[in-house]
Amino acid sequence: MSQTQRTVVVLAAGEGKRMKSATPKVLHPLLGRTLLGHVLSAAAAARAEHTIVVVGHQADQVRAHLDEIAPGATPVLQAQQNGTGHAVRIALEAAPDAAGTVVVLNGDVPLLRPETVEALVAAHEQAGSAGTVLAAEVDDPAGLGRVVRDPAGRLERIVEERDASPEVRAVREVNAGIYAFDAARLREALSKISTDNDQGEEYLTDVFELLTSVGHPVGVFVAPDAEETLGCNDRAELAGLGLRLRNRVNTGWMRAGVTMLDPATTWIDVTVTVERDAQIEQNCRLTGRTTVGAGAVIGPDTTLTDTTVGEGASVLRTHSIGAEIGPEATVGPFSYLRPGTRLGRKSKIGGFVEAKNAELGDGAKVPHLTYVGDATIGAKANIGAGTIFANYDGVNKHHTTVGEAAFVGSDTVLIAPAEIGPGAYVAAGSAVSNVPAGHLGVTRAAQRNIEGWTERKRPGTVSADAARRATEEK
């Protein structure tokens, strides 16, 4: 049997006044996607031929975001936000061929699961209804539309709180703002919708009473989990949704075999993946396209953005953006990996190291207090404490190559462009650009000692006293 034709309409034209933001409400981020991104991702389960997003308030920003995350979706402009019914009417006018099922979703319900969208559409199509609303039983229905049923339990109408009688206000079954409709019936009903309500707007919810009044069957699909239907009106609600999503994501990874020391301080974007037996310690944030390999240990106090962590690696108190950390490599504490950093197998970045566009071969080590910028470091090379890769001449950046198993002494400056050959040594405290394979490079001045200097030039100091005692003992 071929699938019924389907169209998705996402309502995203409203301002979201209570967010008090220069950013439109639906573009606020929540663990790796915007609110709109979450809704589109759940709506994908409807497997629709067309997706329409109704834009209005700050339409250019919303359109630009859609270009990025859903280039196949069609933005349709609702210049004035005259209500949810008006928004859907405009969307359907822009899609005169849309037939079959129309799935309508508010743009601000980020916890909605794809499985719920799929189940709503299936229930609607199997029942042959003209319209089906996703409903939820909630403790506090304040501000939401109430689902009014007849004594037999059939949907009669949906009433906005501000238009509701005290009896209707007492109902705790609410409209989630997510629906499936038969396209033809929806078009008919929308053409008859009035603005005779407290806000003087065209309410999409009025469609249900219009459909039942002419005998078309309508249905209610109750969400398996009321949490999924929560909308977002202000920043406090946004934070509340973030907590719930965080718990859902963390529980998912723990059930999949990831150990978390403290899920309450572990924040993982929905776009991140973590393999089995990885261990995440407290206060970690994993974002963007980050992936963590099996058995890796992350944290405590670590932020990874767009970072790949290999199997068995360990990343301790580190901030990393756009780096690839190889299998069994170790990083940290207190280090900063920037884009283009690639660490080979069993390589090491120790404490207080900053690396940018730097490749470390297998087993290479940069253990302490070093800046590595624009460099290729061979396998098993060792970079001493306090080494600086001086990559910038004030105008351009230059590259440094350190050969396999080279040994760079402490407090060295490698002045790029630089080439240290395989097996070469650089003496501590040198400033060099070229040391051929197997050579020792030294640029320190020769040492000279001035006998008795402290007692002559710093008489009466603790140093002079110590010096005198030491020379007398001899």
Q: Where are the alpha helices (DSSP H) in 52-195?
A: 59-69, 84-93, 114-127, 166-169, 183-190
Closer CB to ligand UD1, 172 or 338, in the complex: 172
Return the one option of Ca ion, ligand UD1, none that residue 78 interacts with (CB less than 5 to 8 A, by type).
ligand UD1
Residues near ligand UD1 (CB under 6 A), total: 27
* Residue range at the interface with Ca ion (CB under 5 A); choices 189-197, 229-237, 261-269, 381-389: 229-237
Single residue of 37, 177, 322, 378 touching ligand UD1 by CB under 6 A: 177
Single residue of 91, 158, 297, 298 touching ligand UD1 by CB under 6 A: 158
**Considering the rule CB under 5 A, would residue 441 count as an interface residue with Ca ion?**
no
Name the minimum Å distance from CB 229 to ligand UD1.
8
Q: What is the dihedral of CA 349, 353, 358, 361, to 10 degrees?
A: -20
Closer CB to Ca ion, 231 or 332, in the complex: 231
Single residue of 28, 38, 50, 86 touching ligand UD1 by CB under 6 A: 86
Contacts of 112 (CB under 8 A, 6+ apart): 38, 39, 42, 105, 178, 228, 229
Minimal CA–CA distance to 360: which of 350, 338, 345? 345
**Considering the rule CB under 5 A, would residue 107 count as an interface residue with Ca ion?**
no
* Cβ-contact 261, 139 below 8 angstroms: no
Sequence letter at residue 264: A
Single residue of 14, 37, 219, 350 touching ligand UD1 by CB under 6 A: 14
Contacts of 262 (CB under 8 A, 6+ apart): 281, 282, 283
Question: What are the distances in angstroms from CA 463 to CA 398, 456, 473?
Answer: 45, 11, 16
Q: Which two tokens stand for residue 151?
A: 């004594």
Name the minimum Å distance from CB 186 to ligand UD1.
14
Name the minimum Å distance from CB 162 to ligand UD1.
9
**Considering the rule CB under 6 A, would residue 51 count as an interface residue with ligand UD1?**
no
Catalytic residue among 216, 368, 398, 399: 368
Name the minimum Å distance from CB 200 to Ca ion.
17
Single residue of 8, 11, 309, 406 touching ligand UD1 by CB under 6 A: 11
* Residue range at the interface with ligand UD1 (CB under 6 A); choices 69-77, 81-89, 115-123, 278-286: 81-89
How many CA atoms lie less than 13 Å away from 376 in the CB half-sphere?
9
Binding mask 387-426 for Ca ion (x = CB under 5 A): ----------------------------------------
Max CA-CA distance within the chain?
Answer: 114
DSSP one-letter code for 392: B
The residue at minimum Cβ distance from ligand UD1 is 145
Single residue of 38, 135, 160, 358 touching ligand UD1 by CB under 6 A: 160
CA 85/CA 186 separation, integer angstroms:
10
CA 139/CA 227 separation, integer angstroms:
11
Sequence letter at residue 234: D
Name the minimum Å distance from CB 128 to ligand UD1.
24
Name the minimum Å distance from CB 173 to Ca ion.
17
DSSP one-letter code for 411: S
DSSP one-letter code for 352: E
3-class state of residue 184 by DSSP: helix
- Residue 201 sits at the vertex; the CA angle it makes with 174 and 185, to the nearest 5 degrees, is 70
CA 263/CA 166 separation, integer angstroms:
42
* Cβ-contact 258, 278 below 8 angstroms: yes
Specify whether 368 is catalytic: yes
Minimal CA–CA distance to 17: which of 322, 189, 233, 194? 233
* Residue range at the interface with ligand UD1 (CB under 6 A); choices 58-66, 102-110, 258-266, 442-450: 102-110
**Considering the rule CB under 6 A, would residue 108 count as an interface residue with ligand UD1?**
yes
**Considering the rule CB under 5 A, would residue 231 count as an interface residue with Ca ion?**
yes
Tell me the torsion sign for CA atoms 12, 15, 20, 22. positive
**Considering the rule CB under 5 A, would residue 350 count as an interface residue with Ca ion?**
no
Single residue of 34, 41, 51, 84 touching ligand UD1 by CB under 6 A: 84
CA 446/CA 432 separation, integer angstroms:
16
**Considering the rule CB under 6 A, would residue 190 count as an interface residue with ligand UD1?**
no
Q: Write out the H or E segment, with its range, that includes residue 213.
A: helix 206-213
**Considering the rule CB under 5 A, would residue 110 count as an interface residue with Ca ion?**
no
Binding mask 222-261 for ligand UD1 (x = CB under 6 A): ---------x------------------------------
**Active-site residues: which are they?**
368
- Residues forming the site for Ca ion (CB under 5 A): 231
- Residues forming the site for ligand UD1 (CB under 6 A): 11-14, 54, 78, 81-84, 86-87, 106-108, 144-145, 158, 160, 174-177, 203-205, 231
